[in-house]
Amino acid sequence: MKILRTILWVLVGIGFLIFAIYNWQPVELTLWQNLVLETKVPVLALLAFLAGFLPMWALHRSVVWGQNRRIRALETSLKNTAMARQRETQSPALPVGDSVVDSPLDKPGTKSGEVADPFGPADTGADGGGK
């Protein structure tokens, strides 16, 4: 994509250069009654282009920045939720000598010794609404 953008800007630059060569004529621009600006046509065209392009470019960059911040916040929230859920599903450390017997009734739909998926759906409990 960057190569296409570069090619496009090079073509626009060459087109503007050709325009500037063929239209290098002075123009008087009356700003107020007693204030007159004398400039060349290509400079005036470049100023008009920048006056329209820069605000839209700034708006675009601000929207992209805001969306990137929102995406980062959502990804961080998802990661924190998954880590908390994973910590909840892990059993606490047992003292030496105690043993745990896995029962299929404790967690329906899981096998003995299976690690829970932190991104999977939550257990629905006794209502059976997941499978």
Tokens linked to 43:
């400079």
pLDDT-based confidence at residue 131 (cuts at 50, 70, 90): very low
- Select from 101, 105, 77 the least CA-distant residue to 91: 101
Question: How many domains in the chain?
Answer: 1
Query: Mind listing the pLDDT tens digit for each residue in 82-125?
Result: 999 998 888 565 555 555 555 555 555 555 555 656 666 655 55
Q: In the chain, how long is the greatest CA-to-CA distance?
A: 98
Domain that holds residue 52: 1-90
- Say if 109 falls within a structural domain: no
CB atoms within 10 A of CB 85: 16
- Give the integer Cα–Cα distance in Å for 43 and 27: 10
pTM of the model: 0.56
- Say if 129 falls within a structural domain: no
Among 27-31, 38-42, 55-59, 109-113, which is the least confidently predicted range? 109-113
- Say if 72 falls within a structural domain: yes
Query: Count H helices, E strands: the chain?
Result: 2, 2
